[in-house]
Chain A
Amino acid sequence: MSIIVKYVQLADYLTKYTPAKGYLYRLNPLTKLAVVIANIVLGVYLSSPGFSFLAMLGVFAATFTFVAAGGFSFSELIRRQWSLLVIFFGLIFLANTLLGKTAFNPNLKLTVIYQVVGFNRVWLTLSYQGLNDGVSATLFYASIFIAIVALVRTTRISDLAYSLQSLGLPFSISLIFTITIRSVSLVSGKLVTIYNAQRSRGFELEKGWGADRIRNIATIFRPLVTQLLRTAYDMSIIFQSRGLDFSSKKRTRLREVPHRPVDYAVISVCLAASVVLIALVPPAFYG
């Protein structure tokens, strides 16, 4: 249970907009979204077997530099959540090293480093190619993670929602998106309170297996779901009391979200890198 609570708290931290100085905070949300998309495109391409992990390292380094130079501080994130990050990225590394694309390619000749004794199966083999896959994949997810965290924590969600509307996203969807992000801290707060309330009653929620474990989860999730349903109902009442609705066709905005020259420059770099890579470099696979 405690690991679920910790991951919800991590989600709470990651989705919290925190105003600060730095160019990242002034960029148009669509520019930051373009960085995320470029990361996904480049990552999918460059993390495939055949590319050295150095290619992904380049993408990761570029993203990291872009975000860090833009005024986003990683120190708090690492200090508060390092154990969860290590578990998360550690699992990605292990899974891709031992069970990645390399492991399932029967035509591939592997350079074996270690093989689990008694199991002469490819997917239990640690190889240099597997290691390359593992490092590439870890850098791929880390790079996307950084880009998304930077997008959410340095952007007013209302600006992002408005930018998405300008691309044709319906208001109702963008509002649901905004409220979902806003609600993460609400869910996190309630989960922690309920978790502590039940532990205070003497319940050992980390103990037991099978049915016992399910009952433990029920002690948390039944009150949580009840509370969240009640909260959702209350929020819908409050929402309508405030005169907010989805039916209004015409809307105005308190402020513009401008596109500055730097926005055009960043979007151009992202676009060019993606196009050049896809158009000019052929996909490469082992074997």
Chain B
Amino acid sequence: MSKIVSFEDVSYQYEGVNEYAVHGVNLEINKGEFVLLMGASGSGKSTLCQAINGIIPHVVPGKLKGKVFVDGYDTTRLEPPSLSKFVGMVFQDPEIQLFSLVVEDEVAMSLENRAVPREEMRGLVDWALGVTGMDSLRLSSTIDLSGGQKQRLATAAALASGAEIIILDEPTAYLDNEGTRAILNVIRELCRDKGKTVILVEHKVEQTLQFADRVIVMSQGKIVKDGPPKTVFSDLATMKSVGVRLPAALELAIELNVAIPNIPLTMEELRRLVPDEKLLPVISDRLPRLAGTSGPPSVQLENVSLSYGPERRVLRDVSLKISAGEYVAILGRNGAGKSSLATLIMGLNKPTSGRVIVDGVDTRRASVAQMARKVGFLMQNPDHQLFTESVREELAFGPRKMGLSDSEVDSLVLKALELTKLTGLEERNPYDLSMGQRLRLALACALILSPPILLLDEPTIGQDLVHLTPLMNQVAELNRSGRTVIMITHDAHLASLHSRRTVFLSEGEVLADGPTREILGNEELTSRCGVDAAPLPRLLIEAERRGKVKAATG
């Protein structure tokens, strides 16, 4: 195979920053390879990608040392518009990477810019829309597309420009399992059938590892591992130290002391190595058991419907009772009504019919400010909430506005800092904190009034293990101390590790509600809800069907 990208001792320093974003990188990528690029946030992945498409050094100011070659061309000599003929890039956020309002216009945009003749352009647009499965939507408005469709459209735009190298920087972060599968299938076909070179940056290791020919792991601006998936993941010490999420099968294998040469990356591989009798008890221990739900009701939805106008009914006749101290995960496709359900619990929306009772209060008769004393709401992006100059001010603002005395405010701030392990950072500007710290600060803000219920809306989006683990541990701790936790997520594996009960929403209705291990392990049910079955419960259910689990788990 011929090489298509090469880095020769490349280092890059952003303007005004002392540390190198990438340092001493030597790398060769061959034509037609599927490369999975992994590493914690800030490890240099995006810098590496932007050095390939020429954004670095042409657009982002900084100091570049060494040489980057794309298809034999030195990227310092070609501007990004010229490099876009070789390299197409798809970014994380589907909302900000589309510039046109009609699907086919978006694909044609860069071709029009290059004055490609109309007939040729029409052929390229048709081909790119066909390859990405967007043909039937060519005249649709880009604003009305789902997240998955937007990402496929961005991929089509990159393909139409003739790019041989497709770089995808966390393209599935905002997508549900179906959207993720759709975009990953397109990428795999591009690589396998069309011979394109794919560089994929992803945290979703379970879904992506199976497609990769090669895994590159970065940490602190350097490439620390590079090779076939099995070889890379066999260096467990390195992989753990750089904060990369390990496949569930590998985590179990470590626990079971499976020999390194036989390292399993999928559950099927693990089962070939470890007998069920040994494997199933370990899985069973890892999954939380359903605790009794007989406590006083914490959140109660009684025949709740919610409509945004006559045509948009987002929730239909939903009835749900969550008891105090429960840990409940709510899953479903994008648009299933999960976030709408959260806004009802928070009181941001009032039900069109039925009623929502939260800790004894009917949300129809309470203001959002009153509900904030009952429910702590942690939204996806902590930066949507931060607005003061210091962590202390950020935490004190709400209680102070409620008229609490200075001593009361100080005491609440100290408690919230301790609870979220942010003590010592009181005087720091929130925007100077790391992503993980900002997440914990947003959690502290949600908890400052000591609400008995914690509501998390997609806390895992775009988060790596380094940031996610402390947050999830803290949430688990809060739950153990008696708080009710309701977590909205697409991540079935994460839900299976933390929640004891799972609710599936589909088209605004409750499709299933029960113990997490039963619900998330049921492949038929999960596929009906557009969710991938969680690997650990799935294995237990399969074993149960074969009659092994009872004997194994005692």
Contacts and interface: CB of A to CB of B under 8 A. Distances in A.
B150 to A, nearest CB: 12
A94 B412 CA distance: 50
Interface stretch (B83-91, B184-192, B221-229, B297-305): B83-91
Contact of A219 (B85, B157, B387): B387
B445 A201 contact: yes
A204 B369 contact: yes
A202 B121 CA distance: 53
Interface stretch (A59-67, A117-125, A181-189): A181-189
Contacts of B398: 201-203
A189 B445 CA distance: 22
A202 B118 contact: no
Contact of B112 (A156, A203, A234, A254): A254
A50 B157 CA distance: 57
B115 A243 contact: no
Nearest to B372: A202
Contacts of A158: 100-102, 105
Interface residues of B, number: 76
Interface string A1-22: 0000000000000001111000
A193 interface: yes
B407 interface: no
Nearest to B125: A254
B169 to A, nearest CB: 10
B163 to A, nearest CB: 9
Given A158-B102, A227-B383, A252-B118, A234 B368 contact: no
Nearest to A196: B348
Q: Name the residue in A18, A235, A241, A255 with the highest tally of chain B Cβ atoms < 10 Å from its Cβ.
A: A241
A267 B385 CA distance: 50
A241 B142 CA distance: 19
B96 A244 contact: no
Interface in B371-424: 372-373, 375, 377, 379, 381, 383-387, 397-398, 401-402
B383 A223 contact: yes
A242 B309 contact: no
Interface stretch (B52-60, B275-283, B527-535): B52-60
Interface in A56-86: 76, 79-80
A254 B104 CA distance: 9
Interface of B: 50, 53, 55, 58-60, 79-85, 89, 91, 93, 95-102, 104-105, 108-118, 121-122, 125, 139-143, 157-158, 161, 309-310, 343, 346, 348, 367-369, 372-373, 375, 377, 379, 381, 383-387, 397-398, 401-402, 431, 445-446, 448-449
Given A182-B99, A200-B372, 11 more contacts: A19-B140, A196-B348, A199-B348, A200-B375, A202-B372, A230-B383, A235-B96, A238-B97, A241-B84, A242-B89, A252-B112
12 contacts: A17-B102, A19-B102, A193-B379, A194-B385, A203-B398, A218-B387, A223-B386, A226-B431, A231-B96, A253-B112, A254-B111, A254-B112
